[in-house]
């Protein structure tokens, strides 16, 4: 199996993973032979990348960090929690930041959120979600199939998965992991209080629009801070996930000390970012960057991996970045790659499997030569070819 851009999907190819619609109804079942009509429909619905099963990559197994069942359950809960709360905002006219904050703190909005059946369900489903992630040690690949419409919800689930695997690596206890999951599910909920035209704008934001988007951190925190089922730490993920170690983040310009202060978390501290929000900052950045958006294509995973490395110490907690490099492969399984040097220079193929000892030096199955001609596929192990460089191409 491999993941390819929708532009390169051809009729006759076999779908590798089931695709779901906005309400998580099944759009196309895995195993279906793709037609021209399917491709047009998927493009119109804003799908960018899908999974294909073919003979060449039949032995490439992309393991999901989470089952379809649990992913759909959690994504539906998040989607409904957002949309039902958003529906309660109708007829509310508040156009200044202060007026919006005042409105968020009214009983009407708080109740719409807290008494929302979807939110109650989310609280219940949390355990099953955390349980499943506990069986995963590293992420072989990220498997959500995002479209324009479901981006926010899939993004919330994917950031939760990344952050929980981090949390597990750091041996955080179950309480903390649940706080992470809840905080990640709802980290961008403040966006429902911002004009949809700005949130869904297909082009670059103006400075004023960008200032408004930044407020989603404050709005989200105002909504969650006194909800009984939400721990203070989870609300602070919403508040702090765009803060940076060097104090140049938003909304408060908090700072980090680039260390793992596991036992020293004080939620009332006005200066310091809490650890689980520092985890959220990396998870959020990674997933937002690799995802395709209406205004830009997703960045390639190896490039985003390097961006996180280069942000270590300034944007991201240095010790956490070290941990990130131990759970997130530079080249996810199923990615298409190109060899950059050596006798196989410009050969292309697909990442087959990871070497757990050297996560960034996987086994690759090479399928095409430098002239793009099909070759008899052969396995190439980067861990035993240390001078060879490689890059993702899709
Ligand atoms: Fe955000
Ligand atoms: Fe986000």
Q: Over the stretch 284-320, which tens digit does the pLDDT of each residue have?
A: 999 999 998 877 888 999 999 999 999 999 999 999 9
Q: What is the pLDDT of residue 267?
A: 47
* pLDDT tens digits along 168-200: 999 999 999 999 999 999 999 999 999 989 998
* pLDDT tens digits along 241-259: 999 999 999 999 999 999 9
Contacts of 278 (CB under 8 A, 6+ apart): 245, 256, 316, 317, 320
Q: Which ligand is nearest to the CA of 251?
A: 1
Quick check: 125 pLDDT over 80? Answer: yes
Q: How far is the CA of 349 from the centre of ligand 2 (A)?
A: 31
Q: What is the pLDDT of residue 143?
A: 63
- pLDDT level of residue 86 (50, 70, 90 thresholds): very high
Q: Which residues surround ligand 2, an ion (CB under 5 A)?
A: 188, 284
Q: How far is the CA of 155 from the centre of ligand 2 (A)?
A: 7
Quick check: 386 pLDDT over 80? Answer: yes
Closest CA to 185 of 223, 164, 159: 159
Q: How far is the CA of 264 from the centre of ligand 1 (A)?
A: 25
Q: Which ligand is nearest to the CA of 213?
A: 1
CA 17, 21, 25, 28 torsion-angle sign = negative
- pLDDT level of residue 221 (50, 70, 90 thresholds): very high
DSSP code at position 206: P
Distance between CA 48 and CA 279 in Å, rounded? Answer: 27
Report for 86-100, 121-135, 252-266: range of highest mean pLDDT: 121-135
Q: Which residue has the tokens 């532009």?
A: 7
SS3 content of the chain, % helix, strand, coil (to 5): 45, 15, 45
Quick check: 21 pLDDT over 70? Answer: yes
Query: What end-to-end distance do the CA atoms of the chain give, in Å?
Result: 14
Helix (H) or strand (E) holding 378: strand 374-381
Distance between CA 193 and CA 106 in Å, rounded? Answer: 14
């Amino acid at each position: 199996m491999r993941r390819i851009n929708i532009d390169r999907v051809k009729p006759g190819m076999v779908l590798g993973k089931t695709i779901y619609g906005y309400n998580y109804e099944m759009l196309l079942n895995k195993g279906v032979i793709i037609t021209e009509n399917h491709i047009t429909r998927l493009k119109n619905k804003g799908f960018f990348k899908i999974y294909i099963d073919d003979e060449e990559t039949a032995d490439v197994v992309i393991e999901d960090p989470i089952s379809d069942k649990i992913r759909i359950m959690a994504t539906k809960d998040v989607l409904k929690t957002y949309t039902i709360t958003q529906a309660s905002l109708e007829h509310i006219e508040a156009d200044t930041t202060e007026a919006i904050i005042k409105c968020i703190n009214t009983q009407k909005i708080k109740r719409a959120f807290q008494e929302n059946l979807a939110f109650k369900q989310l609280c219940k489903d949390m355990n099953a979600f955390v349980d499943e992630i506990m069986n995963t040690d590293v992420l072989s690949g990220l498997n959500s199939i995002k479209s324009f419409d479901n981006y926010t919800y899939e993004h919330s689930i994917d950031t939760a998965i990344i952050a929980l695997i981090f949390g597990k690596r750091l041996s955080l206890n179950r309480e903390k992991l649940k706080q992470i999951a809840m905080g990640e599910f709802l980290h961008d909920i403040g966006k429902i209080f911002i004009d949809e035209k700005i949130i869904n704008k297909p082009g670059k934001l103006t400075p004023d629009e960008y200032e408004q988007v930044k407020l989603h951190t404050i709005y989200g925190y105002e909504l969650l801070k006194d909800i009984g089922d939400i721990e203070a730490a989870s609300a602070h993920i919403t508040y702090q996930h765009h803060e940076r170690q060097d104090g140049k983040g938003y909304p408060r310009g908090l700072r980090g000390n680039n260390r793992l202060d596991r036992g020293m978390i004080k939620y009332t501290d006005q200066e310091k970012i809490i650890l689980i929000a520092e985890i959220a900052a990396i998870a959020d950045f990674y997933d937002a960057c690799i995802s395709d958006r209406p205004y830009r294509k997703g960045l390639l995973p190896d490039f985003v991996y390097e961006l996180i490395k280069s942000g270590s110490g300034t944007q991201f907690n240095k010790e956490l970045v070290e941990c990130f490099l131990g759970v997130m492969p530079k080249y996810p399984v199923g990615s298409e790659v190109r060899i950059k040097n050596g006798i196989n220079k410009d050969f292309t193929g697909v990442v087959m499997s990871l070497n757990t000892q050297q996560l960034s030096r996987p086994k690759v199955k090479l399928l095409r030569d430098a002239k793009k001609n099909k070759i008899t596929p052969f396995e190439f192990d980067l861990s035993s070819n240390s001078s060879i460089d490689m890059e993702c191409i899709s």
